[in-house]
């Protein structure tokens, strides 16, 4: 048992970090809250070093440290660290900065638990850890009407999603007699009755809510607009790593004799196509940069789901992991840029962006770089990531598997990319080409944390874009 528990050092480190941050924040006077941020950063760095360990195994049939977790852990911890560094300038002078750090670290801890879940109990625990932290982050500026609305919608949608998932979990246990994924798979090997299938679909509602897959996406635009941009960076990226990992593990337990992959993949592909098209068309009508990024996040979640639908096969999972990495660095970078705009201009509405290129040329250039990567412009990371998705979809649709609907799904990905490009260009046009107003708010000096995060994200966006053997490296890690 001691050997099994040693696999959970990263999760334990973050959990201890949350407790330490809250304790320090409670005991120290208002002018010395910066120690809480240092503890949060230190906890993430220590956990990241521990997560490099490639050891795999299972912990009491509750958590599974497999190849998926070995990949997801560093990504979750690195994103958490980037958000903490960028958020110091945003919230560092606030009296509640320690609580904000605790919420970010708690979100990362919940993501680690979710990613490693091999049991319905730990899955619910991980999802709720992420949800509780997310509720606080969404409504962080409680005195602001939009922030209050964002928090309320996030709580309401989250509560419904959790209730449906818990309802489904109870029925899965009642029908199979198991809570662990392996036991559920064995119980379903003799056949998948309709009630069990319906219960599993209800469990999937909680995962679809975290991914913001259509039709569980309605909260996302308002939450993105009302919450602070730095908090949005955490909410938009960290849960996706965890949910995709546990989704792939959960799908693997469903016996192919009960539900063939041709059927299961068709359902996932349909959800992906709907998410891609709804996000692309709806983004065109938005007049706020954060709302455009929100709908793009829905579309990117659909793209990752398309890679998951291309299973079975390690190459499909590698394509999903590569896409998430490319999406994460570009999305975090874009939202850090928008956080600066929001702090200086009070809003991320498109009519508040004119003159940004003249006032902050380097920040605007970085924002354009991240948006171009999100849309898939070569040679940036987004292009190679989407190329990998298209290759997997066409391999499944035209290859030996011959699932023809994947060809149409690949076409939907291309169409949605072209449409969403116009939505991204609305932001670029407002920041670069629109005439600057006569008077503009004074530019504030960027802190070292913000600059370092932007430099890292920009460098990673370019580096991942030329990492041609990245798919093979990830696939090799998954097969260890």
Beta carbons within 10 angstroms of residue 443's beta carbon: 12
Q: Tell me what pLDDT residue 94 has.
A: 58
The mean pLDDT value of the chain amounts to 84
pLDDT confidence tier of residue 400, bands split at 50, 70 and 90: low
Total residues found in the chain within this entry: 480
Q: Tell me what pLDDT residue 328 has.
A: 92
- Note the pLDDT tens digit of each residue in 101-129: 889 999 999 999 999 888 899 999 999 99
Do the beta carbons of residue 251 and residue 308 sit within 8 Å?
Answer: yes
- Spatial CA neighbour of 284 closest among 137, 423, 81: 423
Q: Tell me what pLDDT residue 2 has.
A: 55
Residue 450 above 80 pLDDT? yes
Beta carbons within 10 angstroms of residue 43's beta carbon: 28
Residue 93 above 70 pLDDT? no
Q: What CA–CA distance (Å, rounded) separates 447 from 64? A: 39
- Note the pLDDT tens digit of each residue in 20-30: 888 888 877 66
Q: For the purposes of burial, counting CB atoms within 10 Å of the CB of 467, is it exposed (0-12), middle (13-18) or buried (19 or more)?
A: middle
Predicted TM-score (pTM) of this structure: 0.92
Q: Tell me what pLDDT residue 91 has.
A: 58
Q: Tell me what pLDDT residue 358 has.
A: 85
pLDDT confidence tier of residue 258, bands split at 50, 70 and 90: low
Q: What average pLDDT does this structure show over 410-419?
A: 90
- Spatial CA neighbour of 357 closest among 434, 441, 425, 432: 432
Handedness of CA 88, 91, 93, 96 (dihedral sign): negative
What percent of the chain shows pLDDT beyond 90? Answer: 21
- Note the pLDDT tens digit of each residue in 192-214: 677 888 888 888 888 888 888 88
Kind plus residue range of the DSSP H or E element containing 58: strand 57-59
**Interior angle at CA 447, CA 441 and CA 450, nearest 5:** 95
Handedness of CA 84, 85, 86, 90 (dihedral sign): positive
Residue 331 above 90 pLDDT? yes
Do the beta carbons of residue 251 and residue 271 sit within 8 Å?
Answer: no
Residue 64: strand pairing partners? 58
- Spatial CA neighbour of 204 closest among 254, 164, 261: 164
What percent of the chain shows pLDDT beyond 70? Answer: 93
Q: What CA–CA distance (Å, rounded) separates 52 from 217? A: 34
Residue 58 above 90 pLDDT? no
Q: Tell me what pLDDT residue 458 has.
A: 92
Segments in 227-288 forming alpha helices (H): 229-251, 261-283
Q: What average pLDDT does this structure show over 457-472?
A: 85
pLDDT confidence tier of residue 407, bands split at 50, 70 and 90: confident
Residue 35 above 80 pLDDT? no
Residue 296 above 70 pLDDT? yes
Residue 292 above 70 pLDDT? yes
Do the beta carbons of residue 72 and residue 246 sit within 8 Å?
Answer: no
pLDDT confidence tier of residue 287, bands split at 50, 70 and 90: confident
Q: Tell me what pLDDT residue 324 has.
A: 92
Q: Which two tokens stand for residue 29?
A: 């006077």
Q: Which two tokens stand for residue 62?
A: 């509750």
């Amino acid at each position: 048992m001691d050997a099994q528990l040693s696999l959970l050092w990263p999760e334990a480190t973050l959990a201890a970090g949350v407790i330490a941050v809250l304790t320090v924040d409670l005991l120290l006077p208002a002018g010395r809250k910066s120690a809480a941020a240092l503890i949060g950063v230190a906890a993430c760095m220590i956990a990241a070093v521990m997560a490099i360990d490639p050891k795999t195994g299972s912990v009491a049939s509750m958590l599974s440290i497999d190849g998926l977790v070995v990949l997801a852990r560093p990504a979750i911890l690195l994103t958490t660290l980037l958000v903490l560094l960028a958020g110091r300038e945003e919230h560092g002078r606030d009296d509640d900065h320690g609580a904000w750090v605790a919420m970010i670290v708690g979100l990362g801890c919940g993501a680690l638990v979710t990613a490693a879940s091999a049991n319905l109990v730990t899955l619910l625990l991980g999802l709720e850890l992420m949800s509780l932290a997310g509720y606080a982050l969404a409504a962080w500026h409680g005195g602001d009407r939009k922030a209050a609305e964002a928090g309320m919608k996030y709580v309401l949608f989250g509560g419904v999603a959790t209730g449906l998932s818990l309802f489904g979990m109870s029925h899965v246990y009642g029908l199979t007699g198991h809570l662990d994924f392996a036991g559920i798979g064995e119980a379903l090997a003799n056949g998948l009755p309709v009630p069990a299938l319906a219960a599993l679909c209800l469990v999937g509602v909680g995962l679809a809510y975290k991914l913001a897959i259509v039709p569980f996406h309605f909260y996302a635009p308002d939450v993105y607009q009302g919450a602070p941009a730095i908090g949005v960076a955490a909410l938009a990226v960290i849960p996706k790593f965890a949910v995709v990992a546990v989704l792939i593990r959960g799908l693997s337990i469903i016996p192919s004799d009960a539900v063939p992959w041709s059927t299961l993949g068709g359902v996932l592909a349909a959800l992906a196509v709907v998410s891609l098209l709804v996000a692309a068309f709806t983004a065109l009508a938005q007049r706020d940069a954060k709302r455009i990024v929100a709908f793009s996040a829905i579309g990117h979640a659909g793209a990752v789901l398309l890679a998951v639908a291309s299973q079975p096969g390690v190459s499909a999972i590698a394509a999903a992991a590569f896409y998430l990495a490319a999406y994460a660095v570009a999305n975090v970078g874009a939202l850090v840029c928008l956080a600066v705009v929001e702090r200086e201009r009070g809003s991320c509405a498109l009519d508040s962006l004119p003159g940004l290129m003249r006032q902050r040329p380097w920040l605007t250039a970085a924002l354009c770089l991240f948006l171009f990567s999100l849309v898939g412009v070569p040679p940036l990371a987004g292009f190679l990531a989407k190329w990998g998705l298209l290759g997997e979809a066409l391999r499944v649709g035209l290859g030996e598997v011959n699932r023809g609907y994947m060809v149409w799904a690949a076409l939907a990905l291309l169409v949605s990319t072209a449409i969403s490009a116009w939505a991204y260009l609305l932001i670029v046009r407002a920041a670069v080409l629109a005439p600057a107003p006569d008077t503009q708010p004074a530019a504030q000096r960027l802190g070292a944390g913000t600059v370092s995060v932007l430099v890292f994200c920009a460098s990673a966006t370019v580096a991942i874009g030329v990492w041609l053997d990245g798919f093979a490296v990830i696939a090799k890690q998954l097969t260890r």
